[in-house]
């Protein structure tokens, strides 16, 4: 829709970002760090020279250069005085004195309906996606408009770079990756469907504001709601794959606790939860608007080798989760597990067993990880192999162990895993012969199944 950054080289965009960040007091980036782009994980931060010791600060971004519920309110309130939220809105003393210039600004029309009630009724995701859609995609088409956030938008990923997120295959009926939807593991498929309904729900909430704005455009306007939806999906996934945790005092739902932090969002993920860098929020170091400064501090893993990548842990996430939320997977991931609920529930055909498991809240949510078969699955299969449900109850309560069920339990589990292994192999074979999809996307799905295969091999190889 908007040519935004394509006309500038990456180096120019990065220079502009740094210049813009330097305008704020409190911005700092460690001189031993630099940005590099690799085919495997895109842009990332690397050690350029010297060393980084525990507790060294890698980067610090002041509150006024983060995009979150507070800074968005501040920037909207500059053009809509009906948005007055104490501690978040722009104080009158800082508003432009020339009323006419405000009226001519396209933001005055765009943000007209974003009053206190409207804004406070939106989630962080909804407000951010609406604001970014206006400032990044829509308003730059108006004459003489440049967003304050342009240097940040110019370094955000293009839609193409987010193409391996399964939700994009579902949202876009023309996606070349649609054949992969049916080949996704059940857990990934459910995750993707959940994300798509969240996106659609948020679109339902924010699109009326866009429709009001569209009414004010000339009939010759090129913009239509279908195009805007595609741009909305892009914006939504940019926020989702780059936001970081921060408390938003105006909101009570933890899902609203997010902020977008330029430069910090160049850090790639490592599955090790404790070793790598840690975020630090200094709520007392406040800028004219926004929340506290957001810093990244070196953890236990110190950096001494130039060229080494500086990493962050996004959370203890399996490949199914990483694929859906971020569009990548790890070859080795200690947090992988297989959700075997559907397969196990299909196998439990005896009604009394089903009833027993339901009554005891043990029906479904069965998983197998590299190191263990979940206790819930052991209980379910113990109930399948043992007619004495009182004995299974004792197992549930921890009075006896799984060995009390002898070889009947272990051979049922073995057969179950062998059959899972067969279906994983079949999926891998199907993925190896598909031709239409983007190779990166099919390779990612293949890696998820390979992770499953390793888990099953580990159990079957060692016996259960």
Ligand X SMILES: C[S@@+](CC[C@H](N)C(=O)[O-])C[C@H]1O[C@@H](n2cnc3c(N)ncnc32)[C@H](O)[C@@H]1O
Distance CA 58, CA 332 (A): 27
Q: Does 279 bind ligand X (CB under 6 A)?
A: no
376 in contact with ligand X (CB under 6 A): no
219-248 positions binding ligand X, by CB under 6 A: 241-242
Per CB under 6 A, does 423 bind ligand X? no
Residue 327 touches ligand X, criterion: CB under 6 A: yes
Minimum CB distance to ligand X, residue 138 (Å): 23
Does 269 contact ligand X by CB under 6 A? yes
Residue in 232, 326, 362, 381 binding ligand X, rule: CB under 6 A:
326
Rounded CA-CA distance 437/445 in Å is 11
| Those residues with Cβ within 8 angstroms of residue 286's Cβ, 6 or more apart along the chain or in another chain | 63, 292
Q: Which is nearer to ligand X, 42 or 50 (CB)?
A: 42
- Least distance from ligand X to the Cβ atom of residue 16, Å: 16
Least distance to ligand X, CB of residue 270, Å = 6
CB 61 within 8 A of CB 264: yes
Q: Which stretch binds ligand X (CB under 6 A): 59-67, 325-333, 378-386, 429-437?
A: 325-333
| C-beta of 44 vs 166, nearer to ligand X | 44
Q: CB nearest ligand X: which residue?
A: 42
Three-state secondary structure of 83-94? CCCCCCCCCHHH
- Edge-to-edge strands, sheet with 292-297: 28-29, 57-61, 292-297, 278-286
CA–CA dist 443, 438 (Å, integer): 9
| Closer residue to ligand X (CB): 36 or 102 | 36
Site for ligand X in 42-81 (CB under 6 A): 42-44
Nearer of residues 157 and 279 to ligand X, judged by Cβ? 157
Stretch that binds ligand X, among 41-49, 136-144, 361-369, 429-437 (CB under 6 A): 41-49
Residue 261 C-beta: closest distance to ligand X, Å: 10
**What length is written for the chain?**
464
| DSSP codes, 121-171 | TS-HHHHHHHHHIIIIIIGGGSTT---TTHHHHTTSPPGGGGTTSHHHHHH
Q: Give the chain's largest Cα–Cα span.
A: 83
Q: Of the candidates 321, 328, 362, 405, which one interacts with ligand X according to CB under 6 A?
A: 328
By the 10 Å C-beta count (0-12 exposed, 13-18 middle, 19+ buried), 284 is classed as exposed
Tokens found for residue 453 = 């295969």
CA distance 68 to 119: 13
Does residue 268 interact with ligand X by CB under 6 A?
yes
Asked if 163 interacts with ligand X (CB under 6 A), we say no
Q: Which stretch binds ligand X (CB under 6 A): 37-45, 84-92, 109-117, 206-214?
A: 37-45
| Of 111-119, 206-214, 264-272, 376-384: span binding ligand X (CB under 6 A) | 264-272
For residue 368, the Cα-to-chain-centroid distance in whole angstroms is 24
Check if the beta carbon of residue 48 is closer than 8 Å to that of residue 32: yes
Residue 166 makes contact with ligand X by CB under 6 A: no
Nearest distance in Å: CB 279, ligand X: 12
**What is the binding site for ligand X (CB under 6 A)?**
40-44, 157, 241-242, 265-266, 268-269, 326-328
């Amino acid at each position: 829709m908007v040519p935004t950054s394509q006309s500038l080289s990456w180096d120019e965009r990065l220079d502009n970002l740094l210049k813009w960040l330097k305008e704020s007091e409190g911005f700092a980036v460690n001189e031993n760090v630099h940005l590099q782009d690799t085919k495997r994980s895109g842009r990332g931060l690397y050690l350029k020279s010297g060393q980084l010791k525990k507790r060294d600060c890698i980067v610090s971004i002041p509150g006024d250069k983060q995009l979150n519920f507070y800074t968005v309110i501040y920037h909207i309130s500059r053009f809509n005085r009906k948005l007055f939220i104490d501690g978040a809105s722009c104080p009158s003393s800082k508003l432009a004195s020339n009323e006419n210039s405000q009226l001519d600004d396209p933001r005055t029309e765009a943000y007209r309906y974003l009053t206190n009630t409207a804004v406070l009724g939106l989630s962080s995701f909804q407000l951010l996606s609406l604001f970014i859609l206006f400032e990044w995609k829509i308003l730059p088409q108006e004459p003489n408009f440049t967003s304050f956030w342009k240097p940040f938008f110019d370094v955000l990923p293009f839609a193409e770079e987010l193409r391996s997120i399964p939700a994009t295959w579902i949202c876009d009926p023309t996606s070349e990756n649609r054949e992969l939807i049916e080949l996704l593991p059940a857990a990934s498929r459910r995750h993707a469907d959940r994300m798509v309904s969240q996106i659609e729900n948020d679109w339902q909430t924010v699109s009326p504001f866009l429709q009001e704005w569209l009414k004010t455009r000339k009939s010759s306007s090129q913009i239509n709601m279908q195009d805007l939806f595609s741009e909305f999906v892009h914006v939504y996934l940019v926020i989702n794959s780059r936001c970081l945790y921060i408390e938003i005092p105006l909101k009570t739902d933890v899902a609203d606790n997010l902020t977008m932090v330029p430069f910090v969002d160049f850090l790639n993920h490592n599955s090790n939860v404790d070793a790598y860098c840690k975020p630090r929020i200094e709520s007392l170091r406040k800028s004219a608007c926004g929340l506290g400064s957001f810093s990244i501090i070196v953890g236990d893993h110190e950096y001494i080798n130039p060229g080494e990548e500086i990493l962050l842990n996004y959370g203890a996430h399996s490949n199914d989760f990483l694929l859906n939320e971020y569009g990548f997977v790890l070859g080795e991931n200690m947090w992988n597990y297989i959700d075997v609920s559907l397969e196990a529930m299909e196998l439990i055909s005896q009604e009394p067993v089903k009833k027993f498991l339901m009554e005891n809240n043990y029906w479904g949510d069965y998983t197998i990880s590299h190191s263990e078969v979940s206790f819930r699955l052991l209980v379910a299969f113990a109930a399948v192999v043992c007619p004495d449900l009182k004995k299974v109850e004792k197992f549930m309560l921890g009075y006896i162990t799984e060995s009390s069920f002898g070889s009947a339990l272990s051979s049922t589990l073995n057969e179950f895993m062998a059959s899972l292994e067969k279906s994983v192999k079949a999926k891998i074979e199907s993925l190896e012969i598909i031709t239409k999809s983007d190779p990166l996307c099919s390779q990612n799905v293949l890696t998820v199944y390979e992770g499953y295969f390793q888990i099953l091999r580990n159990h079957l190889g060692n016996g259960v």
